[in-house]
Structure 1
Amino acid sequence: MFSIQNMIVALILGILVCITYRITYSGVAYNKRFNTSLMMLTLITTMVMNILASSLALSLGMVGALSIIRFRTAVKDPRDTTYIFWAIAIGLGAGSSNYYVVAIGSIFVVIISLILSFGFKDSNSYLIIVRGNLESLETVRSSLFQIYKACKLRAETVTENHIEIVYQIKIRKNENIKEYEKLKSIEGVEFVNMVAQDGETLG
């Protein structure tokens, strides 16, 4: 009975984690699979806690089993790591029947996440993809930094005759999003694409 109750509490709070992650996500490419894995991680951790609570021998065996697991997937955004720890914390609390601790703690985390994401948010992130010949590279770079003050190189592919660069930019409230179209007039540039946060191509 308590195991089912623990899983239900973990499921509800896991959904809360997923919703909070989706609302407060500010990156360029939202990963739905990672968000779904957060809820699964919450339920799995709760299930493990239920198993460990039933037997000391199982607890020792589980520690030995987990010690040989190696996770090779790198977490690119440090903020994603906090959501992983949040999901694990909920699983630990729900699995040990500490409902009030994880519920109140999760409410605080949600409030703080919303305040930090929207209260201090003054820009939107986009990706600009430019393809052209090698001679146009320096002109494109200088033009980008003139148009947008916040630019960061994310990828660069060079062949014998062409180059493709990907810059992440942040557009502030007083900046025109369509300014990137100026890059199309540069001699040697073949195409310019801007990708919004949700993956939609703007041009």
Structure 2
Amino acid sequence: MNYIFSSVAGDSLTLSSTAAILACALLTGFFISCIYIFTHKESGYVPSFAITLIMLPAIIATIILLVGSNVARAFSLAGAFSLVRFRSAPGDPKDIAYVFFTVAVGLASGMGFLTYSLLFAFVLCLAMVILEKSHFGIPKSEAMTLKIAIPEDLNYEGLFDKILKEYTDSWKIRRIRTTEFGTLFELVYRIQMKQNISQKAFLDSIRCRNGNMNVTLVLNEYEDRIYE
């Protein structure tokens, strides 16, 4: 059985081995991209990232083929890549796992371990589908950020504790600051909403206490995108 996981890449590159490696890398990248789209149907995804997942294993495999066992060439490529700066907005942490996943598949393909690469891609994709469909790690109630604006002459200490106790499982104040040139206070809470609670009734109760001023309720995962 050892020959199944042996490398097809010899000491020198041939057209057939190179074609097989690139085909395997593209195939596994396409499979991973399909799983990524499937597991992000509800939360949404960036189409360009799905395309990147297809191309990345082939790019990594090509780099490995070019480097081979040449140490000088490896250091040259490392210096070239060190000049590249990747800048992107914070996204889903699962996206990072997919990136490392495709890089690992590309490395395995580039080294010629095609069967291992396919098996690795299948097992990891299966695990991702199972975790997604079993809702593993998802809390029963969603963590949210609550922002309340109040007039500067209103004593905010303990003002909303009774309401928060009624509508949330837990809460913690994160920040207090002044806004509008000191005419308003803004209170920021991290809250865990109770199940089957009306968010409208919750916000209406707060508005009755803060003089019908601004109240914002947002999921934590979208907080940075909206307020940064």
TM-score (norm 1): 0.68
- Counterparts in 2 of 1:38 and 1:59: CA distance versus 1, 3 Å: farther
Q: How many residues align?
A: 191
What corresponds to 1:64 in structure 2? 79
Partner deviation per Cα, 1:62-98 (whole Å, 9 max, x = no partner): 2333345555768687655434433433443455532
Rg larger in structure: 2
Counting aligned pairs with the same residue, the percent is 18
- Distance of 1:105 and 1:191 partners within structure 2: 46
Alignment counterpart, residue 169 of structure 1, candidates 188, 191, 197: 191
Partner deviation per Cα, 1:19-65 (whole Å, 9 max, x = no partner): 32454x6xxxx7x45x8536525622431222321443454432333
What corresponds to 1:6 in structure 2? 25
Counterparts of 1:18-167 in structure 2, within 5 Å, are 18-21=37-40, 23=42, 32-33=45-46, 36-37=48-49, 40=52, 43-56=55-68, 57=70, 58-67=73-82, 69=84, 81-93=96-108, 95-96=110-111, 97=114, 98-117=117-136, 121-134=139-152, 135-143=154-162, 145-146=164-165, 147-153=167-173, 156-159=176-179, 160-167=182-189
State the shift of 1:116 in Å. Answer: 4.5
Structure 2, unmatched stretches of 5+, are: 1-18, 223-228
- Distance of 2:128 and 2:210 partners within structure 1: 50
State the shift of 1:133 in Å. Answer: 1.4
TM-score (norm 2): 0.62
Question: What is the root-mean-square deviation in Å for CA atoms of aligned residues?
Answer: 3.7
- Distance of 2:194 and 2:140 partners within structure 1: 6
Q: Higher relative CO (CA 8 A, sep ≥ 6), structure 1 or 2? A: 1
What corresponds to 2:207 in structure 1? 184
State the shift of 1:185 in Å. Answer: 0.4
- Distance of 1:140 and 1:79 partners within structure 2: 39
